[in-house]
Amino acid sequence: MSGPLQDEDPRQVGAFRLRERLSESPVGVVYLAHDAGGRAVSVAVLSEGAAADAAARDRFVAAVSRGVGVEGVPPRVLASNTRGGAAAWVAAEHGGGGAGAFLAPVSVGGGGGGGGAPGYAPYWAGAHAGVSSRWAWPRGGAGAAAGADPNSNRGVVIGLLMLLLLFLAMLVVLYLYLSGLHQEAGSRPTDLPSPGGSGSPSSPQPSPSGSQGPQDASPSPDPDASPSVEPGTQVPSVPLDEDDFTDSPVDPRDPDGLA
């Protein structure tokens, strides 16, 4: 009986997008799915108990690979996964028995010898008809990753590529900037010393401010100039003796010294 997908159901199996449940049993669940082109297919997934039973898993592999135990003509297998620890599943064309035909051989019970010997049922036959917990959609881990849509990783890949391109662009800009600085530093002239060694120091140029040196600070005295006496300055008087007048020259206008 068909019904909507449950929380433990995967949303993507391989390249097929699951849409709804077609049937369920202790062996597994059959889903209606669509491929990349929109074509309807059926996907059968082993239950958790059947996938953990080595004998049941071997019967499923034999039915998928060789059609062992499948009634009539086996449906054409579109894709399958029967290896490793992941949940086993098979996809077939929709219609008729579909992928559910591969689940029938898995549930075959063994009989006793004969007569009224009772048959037996696998230990997982009474378990819930859900798929393996590795496929649970809300949970993390490998099961959720296997059931996730591969297209959902496209955004992550595109984001990583954009970051890589941005990083490369930053490297190119940094290289061009450093190259410009190097060329600018190389174009500047540098003062190199003369090959003859250190030359004689150049004589200092006279200062245009007109400042005089120490030799020009005090003027040289003029021997012919008479000392000038500033007004108001007292002239010291020196007492003279009579002997000082004998050697004085005689004024021709007053030879007797009467004046």
Residue 217 lies in a domain: no
Residues 102 and 164 occupy one common structural domain: no
Residues 137 and 35 occupy one common structural domain: yes
For residue 130, give the CATH number of its domain. 3.30.200.20
Residues 100 and 132 occupy one common structural domain: yes
Residues 60 and 174 occupy one common structural domain: no
181-216 in b/e burial notation, b at 16+ Cβ within 10 A?
A: eeeeeeeeeeeeeeeeeeeeeeeeeeeeeeeeeeee
pTM, entire model: 0.47
pLDDT class of 201 with cuts at 50, 70, 90: low
Residue 252 lies in a domain: no
Q: What is the pLDDT of residue 171?
A: 95
What's the whole-number average pLDDT of the chain? Answer: 72
pLDDT digits (tens, 9 = 90+) for 15-74: 899 999 998 888 889 999 999 888 999 999 988 888 888 888 889 888 888 888 788 788
Residue 193 lies in a domain: no
Asked if 9 and 50 touch (Cβ cutoff 8 Å), the reply is no
Residue 119 lies in a domain: no
- Mean pLDDT value across residues 209-215: 49
pLDDT class of 218 with cuts at 50, 70, 90: low
Residues 141 and 157 occupy one common structural domain: no
- Long-range contacts from 92-96, C-beta under 8 angstroms, 24+ separation: 92/41, 92/42, 92/44, 93/41, 93/42, 94/32, 94/40, 94/41, 94/42
Asked if 60 and 66 touch (Cβ cutoff 8 Å), the reply is no
Residues 155 and 53 occupy one common structural domain: no
- Which among 21-35, 92-106, 122-136, 189-203 has the top mean pLDDT? 21-35
pLDDT class of 255 with cuts at 50, 70, 90: low
| % of residues, the chain, pLDDT over 90 | 15
Show which of 135, 166, 181 is a domain's final residue.
181
Residues 98 and 162 occupy one common structural domain: no
- Mean pLDDT value across residues 197-223: 53
Place of tokens 């819930």: 128
Residues 39 and 133 occupy one common structural domain: yes
Residues 175 and 96 occupy one common structural domain: no
pLDDT class of 133 with cuts at 50, 70, 90: very low
Residues 76 and 132 occupy one common structural domain: yes
Q: Burial, 169: exposed, middle or buried (Cβ in 10 Å; 0-12, 13-18, 19+)?
A: exposed
Residues 33 and 140 occupy one common structural domain: yes
For residue 99, give its domain range: 12-109+126-149
pLDDT of 199 strictly over 70: no
pLDDT digits (tens, 9 = 90+) for 71-92: 878 888 898 888 866 778 999 9
Q: What is the pLDDT of residue 137?
A: 41
pLDDT class of 143 with cuts at 50, 70, 90: very low
- Sign of the CA dihedral with 173 first, then 179, 180, and 185 last: positive
For residues 236 and 227, what is the distance between their CA atoms, to the nearest angstrom? Answer: 14
Residues 93 and 160 occupy one common structural domain: no
- Mean pLDDT value across residues 229-256: 61
pLDDT class of 172 with cuts at 50, 70, 90: very high
Q: What is the pLDDT of residue 176?
A: 92
